[in-house]
Amino acid sequence: VRRQQHYYFQAACAMEFKPAYDGEEAGIIVTQNENYSYLLVKCRCDGRDRIECIRIQQGVRTVLADAAAPQGRIYLTVEGRRGDYSFFYGDEEHTMISLGDHEDGALLSTLVADGYLGTMIGMYASAGHRESNNAADFDWFRYENTEER
C-alpha cells in the first residue's frame, strides 16, 4: 500500500485469483480508512466470479457496478483525475473496460472520512472474515503520476 501523491495518477496491477466461495475478494483498494474506501475486486457472488466496483461509505458497502469476471490473469486499473476516480478491468493490459467513472474522491478526504494519513492505494485481498487457504497472486503493482500526459 502506498500514499496517493498526485491529483492525476494511474495505479494498476496484474493478478490471478480464483475465489473459492462467496465473500472472498482480491484487487485494488483506494482508502482513507476501513469506513471510507473504493474497491475494484474479483470476487464470487452467488456462485459466479464477478468484477465489482465497490464504495464503502460510513462502513456501508455499495456495489456501484459489476460484470462477469474474465478467467485467468486480469488487469485492474484506477485513474485519479483531480478529485475523482475511474475504475477499469480487462484480460489484456491495454484493452480495458470501464466499470466506474468519475466516482467522487471527496469521500476519501480527511474532512469527510476523519482521517489524517491521506489516501492510500494498494493491492487488497480478503476472505470475508472467514478462514481460507486461498491466495491472490499479484504479478505486479504500478503507481505513476499522469499529470504530464
Q: List, for residues 26-70, the tens digit of each pLDDT value.
A: 999 999 989 999 999 999 999 999 999 999 999 999 999 999 999
Q: What is the pLDDT of residue 72?
A: 95
Least Cα distance to 15 among 68, 79, 93 occurs for 93
- pLDDT, residue 104, reads 83
Q: What is the chain's length?
A: 149
DSSP assignment of 50-83: EEEEEEEETTEEEEEEEEEPPSS-EEEEEEEETT
**Cβ neighbours of residue 131 closer than 8 Å, sequence gap 6 or more:** none
> How far is Cα 103 from Cα 53, in angstroms, rounded to an integer?
10
- Cell of residue 118, nine digits: 491521506
With bands split at pLDDT 50, 70 and 90, how would you rate the model's confidence at 109? Answer: confident
3-state secondary structure of 28: strand
